A and B are shown apart, each in its own frame.
Chain A
Amino acid sequence: MVKIIYIEHAGKRHEFDVAAGQSVMEGARDNGVDGIVAECGGCCSCSTCHVYVAEDWFDRLPPIEPMEEDMLDFAPGMEPGRSRLSCQLTVTEELDGLTVQVPAEQA
């Protein structure tokens, strides 16, 4: 189990143990983090799983594939260097302690 920290837009903080192999989105959805809607269920089609990752984490994450890049490019509240789609982040031991924040609005 890997510890992931989710901060809702209103500031509420959750700490959940997420199984390696699941996505950061699934950890949020399974536990009901407000603001992670994940309408497409993780197939990079909706951008309603957009999160801001803490800056010191950004470069340690798996690279952004073209589909994700294009979805993010037009997502509301997109911030280069912080924005990711949480469904594209697979949880591994290396992500222990990752902190993600939910933006004000999703697409």
Chain B
Amino acid sequence: MSGIVVVGAGQAGLSLGAKLRAEGYSGALTLLGEEAWPPYQRPPLSKKFLLGELPRERLSLRSPEFYGEHDIDLKLGARVEAIDRDAGQVRFGDHVLAYDRLVLTTGACPRRLPAAIGGELGNVFTLRGIDDVDAMAPRFKPGARLLVVGGGYIGLEAAAIAARSGLEVTLIESAPRILGRVAAAETADYFRRLHRKNGVDLREGTGLRRLVGGPAARAAELADGTTLDVDLAIVGIGVEPAAALAQQARLAVDNGIATDAYGRTTDPNIFAAGDCASFPHGGGRLRLESVQNAIEHAECVGRNLLGAETPYRAQPWFWSDQYDVKLQIAGLNTGYDRVVVRNGEREGAVSHWYYAGRRFIAIDAINDPRAYMTGRRLLGAGISPDPDDLAAADLKTLTAA
């Protein structure tokens, strides 16, 4: 009667617990989270919550009563330090808890700048949790000089909110262009223009040599020799899957906790889902960092825990809000060799369609939900519209095909 224990009370952990109950699981169910907060959504942290437009209670994924009503034993401030696979137990603080089945939904940890170049200085922040936003809030004020390190989605979203809030923002990206890892040059060009128009000093191909000062950074020396005064820095240089616990327990780790198609790790009683887990995909392994994946991966694992044996089929999608622009992405663009640009029906709407040969693999839709929804549906059905006709095509006829 030890039941199911879930480590990590984030998006995936909550989705798993809720799914188990929705599917009729009536055994013991414990959700352990190291943070002080009940499961909440992270995307608004770099969007409306950072702007101060969304109150904290509305970040929560469920009402406080939900857990009791669904008999989910939610333990907060419970950081699991070890798994004893032989005994079938996890340990946190002075507590030991037995499990029949264990699920790891530990998420990911932001990469930090090395301490040697100032990464540990007092006003250098990463952005992953509510506590991170709270920590930077006193310095996140109009007029403050903000350095954003990294031109990925989190860095760009933070820069957008900061510019809107009246901070003086410089964003540096050491690669030749922003969004280099995740999007085509066409999408990067759009967002570069957008940020510059909104007053962000966006510099590409410019690395950080070091932050100087102490206990707080006062200035940043860039690789090109220039120096900037800074009041705070936000570092958005990617995340690492939180796999230390799995590693300690000698589970296979390969770009995240390695699972099979059903979410099982190399121990048949231990499963993993969400940002922390990699799963088989197209002959290799894939790890995704998105809300969609956290929810659907966890729900799939939940059903499998109850005996379904359904392989996980990822249908990735992602969004980003910057200023008044909505970006919606569907599919995976790895291996694209062509991008078709299609202007949308409404003013300012544009979409970028990624092709590998004649196969349509992903879409970036900018203020163009019609293109996004169409692209998503085509991807789900495995249909590739002719790239040569796409720019002029009527969306409704594409999906009717």
Q: Which of A31, A37, A73, A76 contacts B63 (CB 8 A)?
A: A31
User: Which of the 9-residue segments B54-62, B100-108, B207-215, B230-238 touches chain A?
Assistant: B54-62
Interface of A is mostly: loop
**Which range contains the number of A residues in contact with the other chain?**
20 to 34
In angstroms, Cα B326 to Cα A45, docked, is 8
Q: Are A74 and B370 in contact (CB under 8 A)?
A: yes
30 A-B residue pairs with CB within 8 Å: A30-B60, A30-B61, A30-B62, A30-B63, A32-B22, A32-B62, A32-B66, A37-B295, A39-B291, A39-B295, A39-B317, A40-B291, A41-B41, A41-B44, A45-B321, A45-B326, A45-B328, A46-B292, A46-B319, A47-B373, A67-B369, A70-B346, A70-B369, A70-B370, A71-B369, A71-B373, A74-B374, A74-B395, A75-B373, A76-B377
**Residue interface mask A44-67, B partner, CB < 8 A = 1:** 111100000000000000000011
Question: How many residue pairs bridge A and B at CB < 8 Å?
Answer: 70
Q: Are A30 and B66 in contact (CB under 8 A)?
A: yes
Instruction: State how many angstroms separate the Cβ of A67 from the closest Cβ of chain B.
Output: 6
How many residues from B make CB contacts under 8 Å with A?
32
Instruction: State how many angstroms separate the Cβ of B142 from the closest Cβ of chain A.
Output: 24
Chain B 35-67 residues near chain A, CB threshold 8 A: 41, 43-44, 47-48, 58, 60-63, 66
In angstroms, Cα B374 to Cα A31, docked, is 31
Q: Are A32 and B369 in contact (CB under 8 A)?
A: no
Q: Does B250 contact A (CB under 8 A)?
A: no
A interface residues with partner B (beta carbon < 8 Å): 22, 26, 29-32, 34, 37, 39-41, 43-47, 66-67, 70-71, 73-76, 107
